[in-house]
Structure 1
Amino acid sequence: MKKIMRKQQKSNSMEIKLFEHQEKALEQTEQFNRVAYYLDMGLGKTFVGSEKLWELNTPYNLVICQKSKLEDWYQHFKKYYSDDYKVILFDREKLEYIEENSILIINYEKAIVRPELKKIRNFTLLLDESQYIKNPKSQRTKLIMNELKPNNVILLSGTPIDGKYEELLTQINLLGWKIKEKMFLSHYTYREWDEKELKYKIIGYKNIDRLKRKLRNYGCVFMKTEEVFDLPKQTNIFLKPKKTKAYDEFIREGIVELEDRTLIAETVSVGTMNARLLCTAFNQNKLSMLKDLLESTEDRLIIFYQYNLEKEAIGNLAKELNKPISYINGDLVDKNAYENKKNSITLVQYQSGSFGHNLQKANKIIFFGLPNRVSFFEQSRKRTHRIGQERPCFYYYMLTLGTYEWKNYQTLVDGKDYNDELFKEE
């Protein structure tokens, strides 16, 4: 009834025409005021989430998202809901008074330092990329779980877990399933004692069908792109550059001298980073193989990387070959070459570019190095394999022989399998 009334009232705002699968998601959750739309990339979570927010009809609304998505959410609500709401980018404005029928949009980092949010009552909370609250000890999670008091909750994510079901705990608590961590681990995980770390470690999962039923009973909807649209075929291609003597020396000694720097495994994290760089930016074998690949095609290419040293090494190759370059990273989003040059190379940093960017003008992705998170791995592939893509998609994995990169790849694939299991029909 409300949908009909809304369409009659619309004058300045554009009318939303939902796809059948989006209507289905809303119908499945009609009786819930706390919902999670775990919809695969390209299925329009934004439209489903905003329509649910409108249907819940609270005087105040708070949308928390990534910094890179602020403008997208602002433009979406201005375009489709300007008749119904005052839309406010809350990271830019300081408000003494918040009018009714407002939508406040803020990023996760800024939300932590805006005490005004804790005073809002009678509101709907929408979390975009809700996996951002998986860590119960983080400031953003503590704010959302303990200090905000929403009447209604909408969670949106295409990758709700990074291959670990226990990462769902904060999200399902927010939906109203108040299961304790100890009980969750007992019902849904296999664990064994680790003598080195003197604690139990999770080695597998159980009762997943029961978990999925329980999640659906608390307003969760799972949907894969393949269930809705026929997308082109995906092909994996493995390129195997040789490792260097420097890599072996670093793994053996924990230190290695290069021409212009010394790499030391000062801590575990620094050692891991340097071992990676010895497989990527400091591996001339991989760089030579990449150069051959770049020279072999005039197609648009997307290249994912992690560190600035990798970006510099790839960028130098692209410039040497006179390839137009676009960048998507924490400092810069410049898609000009990608949009306008068929032979362009787009360098994408995992953390900044795995989510929210449509890159289906390209159909080839090169993974210069791999990410350390399953969500980055899954979502990076979806940048090209999404609605609007009409060509087969190719993924080139550059995995250095005899190094940790192969184990890293297998870990990501195993985590992806756990994530996919959530989306399967029972």
Structure 2
Amino acid sequence: MINFKPHQQLSLDLTADKHLVAYYLDMGLGKTFVGAEKLIQLKAPINLLICQCSKIDDWIEHFQKYYTLPAFNLTEKKQYERFFELTELVSGIVGVINYELAFRRKDLLNLRDFTLMLDESSMIQNETVKRSKFVLKLAPKNVILLSGTPTSGKYEKLWSQIQLLGWKISKKLFWQQYVDTEYLDVNGFPVRTIKGYKNVDRLKRKLAKHGAVFMKSEEVLTLPEQFDNKIMIPTTKEYRKFMRTSIVKVADTELVGDTSLTKRMYARQLCGQYNQAKLEAFQDLIQSTEDRLIVFYNFNEELKKMLELVDERPVSIVNGEMKDLTAYNERDNSITFVQYQAGAKGLNLQKANKIVYFTLTQSCEDWMQSKKRIHRMGQEKSCFYYYLMCRNSIEEEVLKTLESGRDYTDNLFEKYCEVY
């Protein structure tokens, strides 16, 4: 029997009479336990769970461990076929699949009388992409949405999700009533940007009627303090030249920023993998402690260069090619390298209390989620975040933008280039 935390039990109690629900619980509040329990309570003969690829095994293990529920990995052909065979014979089975593969499995559109659970439901925030269109075409009897994003105020991302909760408000009206916007002139073109939100209490009351529960960590938990530490590093002459001319040669590689996208990418790389002073600062930092460390990074070349500096320390890696947390779990002096897209969401890394940001993501959501990998239930120590930052560079502007709750976009980069 699972012993739920009071806030988890409250979430279930608030939605006890509903079959279309959303648990917008802050990162670290245990959405997995709440969502799985609600799925069991709904008692649907068939259950379909869509999540990120890196979370498939974790979800299957959760159902098998706590509920002894038949759970199938629908990314594997034999298990996919077996799942559909058993839908005609067995009641109470779960199929787990990732977002990027789900829309390629057209048979899922034929499922009826089933519970649909979306882990990190913010993945369908853009209703125009294939994965979102596919999810919105499904015909579930019950719906469970799990996300921590709206608790941080990203309410504009909710519209496609509330369609699944039965609130059939148009996107235009939703934005008119709840999103505060303004138009900025960008190179002669009006671009709509989000200033903030309005009628938030009314929005939450409306969503509560449609089965949504909002909870933030500070409302229900007393978590340890968090401390940010910036380690400032000089930019290279190559970086400064590139920002002036949009072209530079580094280590026999010519970088040409002929578009805002390529210039932004190379500017970030010149502050990371091509900055020897940052690599040395990283080496000094990891040599200063034997504690477990989590290191977030962006590019494969960054990982390659950092791995050359770790000496004999045990290493775990989570990226698009592998997920190996053996060293993290078994060795208290391990270093775990995590690529944002693969591990900023969903991982439980509270055995560590220190994160090193070798480079920053451009996504505010991924950045906020990354901090919560260690600052969550079960953490007993203060949490420390170390930012390796190039002074007077794009990195300072990126962090400033993330701290303001926004993504770092091309428009912001263009403005920064003009200032620089």
Q: Normalising by structure 2, what TM-score?
A: 0.89
Distance 2:139 2:283 in 1: 54
Q: Is the contact made by 2:45 and 2:113 (CA closer than 8 Å) also made in structure 1?
A: yes
Superposed, which structure 2 residues align to 1:189-268 within 5 Å? Answer: 189-195=179-185, 196-268=188-260
Aligned to 2:411: none
Distance 1:217 1:393, change over 3 A: same
Counterparts of 1:341 and 1:62 in 2: how far apart (Å)?
Answer: 36
Q: Does 1:134 align with 2:118?
A: no
Whether contact under 8 Å (1:163, 1:414) holds in the other structure is no
Matched with 1:3 is none
Give the secondary structure class of the aligned counterpart of 1:127.
strand
CA distance in 1, matches of 2:28, 2:251: 45
**Alignment RMSD, CA only?**
2.0
Alignment equivalent of 1:34, drawn from 17, 20, 26: 20
Pairwise CA distance, 1:162: 7.9
User: Residue 52 of structure 1 corresponds to which residue in structure 2?
Assistant: 38
2:268 to 268, 276, 293: 276
Question: Aligned pairs, how many?
Answer: 398
Moved over 4 A (4+): none
Equivalent of residue 294 in structure 1, options 258, 277, 286: 286
Residue 310 of structure 2 aligns to a residue whose secondary structure is helix
Partner amino acid, structure 1, of 2:383: C
Q: Does 1:86 align with 2:67?
A: no
The alpha carbon displacement at 1:192 in A equals: 2.9
Q: Do the aligned partners of residues 58 and 334 (structure 1) sit closer, same or farther apart at CA in structure 2, a change above 3 Å counting?
A: closer
Instruction: Determine if contact 2:319/2:342 at 8 Å carries over to the other structure.
Output: yes
Call closer, same or farther: CA 1:342–1:73 in 2, change over 3 Å.
closer
The reply to whether residue 333 of structure 1 matches residue 323 of structure 2 is: yes
Deviations for 1:103-150, whole angstroms, at most 9, x for unmatched residues?
A: 2211112211111110111111100110110111111100011x2011
| Contact 1:61 1:102 (8 Å CA) reproduced | yes
- Match of residue 182 from structure 1: 172
1:16-165 alignment, distance < 5 Å:
16-82=2-68, 85-92=69-76, 93=79, 94-95=81-82, 97=85, 98-99=87-88, 100-145=91-136, 147-160=137-150, 164-165=154-155
Q: Distance in 2 between matches of 1:350 and 1:277?
A: 15
Contact 1:161–1:168 at 8 Å: present in 2 too?
Answer: no
Aligned residue for 1:7? none
How far apart, CA to CA, are the structure 2 residues paired with 1:103 and 1:236?
A: 41
Q: Does 1:314 align with 2:290?
A: no
Q: Distance in 2 between matches of 1:163 and 1:132?
A: 16
Any idea what SS the aligned residue of 1:243 has? coil
In structure 2, distance between residues paired with 1:334 and 1:235? 28
Between the aligned partners of 1:50 and 1:318, the Cα distance in structure 2 is 39
Residue 346 of structure 1 pairs with residue 332 of structure 2: no
Letter in 2 for 1:317: L
- Partners of 2:313 and 2:299 in 1: how far apart? 21
Q: Secondary structure at the match of 1:74?
A: helix
Amino acid of the structure 2 residue aligned with 1:235: F
CA drift at 1:390:
1.7
User: What letter is aligned with 2:390?
Assistant: T
1:391-406 equivalences in 2 (<5 Å): 391-406=381-396
Amino acid at match of 2:268: R
Deviation of 1:344 after TM superposition, in Å, equals 2.2
Secondary structure at the aligned position of 2:10 is classed as: helix
Q: Secondary structure at the match of 2:233?
A: coil
Give, in whole Å, the separation in 2 of the partners of 1:101 and 1:185.
39
In the alignment, the residues of structure 2 paired with residue 190 and residue 157 of structure 1 have an alpha-carbon distance, to the nearest angstrom, of 22
Q: Name the aligned partner's letter for residue 237 of structure 1.
A: N
What is the letter of the counterpart of residue 310 of structure 1?
E
Deviations along 1:166-220, one digit per CA (max 9) or x if unpaired, are 1111111221111212112211233333443344333332222222222222211
The aligned residue for residue 410 of structure 2 is none
Q: What is the letter of the counterpart of residue 414 of structure 1?
A: S
Q: Specify the code of the residue in structure 2 equivalent to 1:260.
A: D
| 2:157 equivalent to 1:167 | yes
> What secondary structure sits across from 1:178 in the alignment?
coil
CA–CA distance in 2 between the matches of 1:206 and 1:165?
A: 10
Q: 1:330 aligns to what SS in structure 2?
A: coil
Query: What secondary structure is seen at the aligned counterpart in 2 of 1:366?
Result: strand
1:362-403: CA deviations, max 9, x gaps?
Answer: 211111111111221112111111222221111111221111
Choose 148-157 or 99-108, whichever is displaced more: 99-108
Q: CA deviation at 1:332?
A: 1.5
TM-score, normalised by the number of residues in structure 1: 0.88
In the alignment, structure 2 segments of 5+ residues that lack a partner are 408-420
User: Secondary structure of the equivalent of 2:11?
Assistant: helix
CA distance in 2, matches of 1:360, 1:186: 40
Give the Cα separation in 2 of the matches to 1:67 and 1:375: 18
**What's the % identity of the aligned pairs?**
47
Please state how far the C-alpha of 1:416 moved relative to its aligned partner. 7.5
Distance verdict in 2 for CA 1:341–1:200, change over 3 Å: closer
Distance 1:126 1:41 in 2: 17
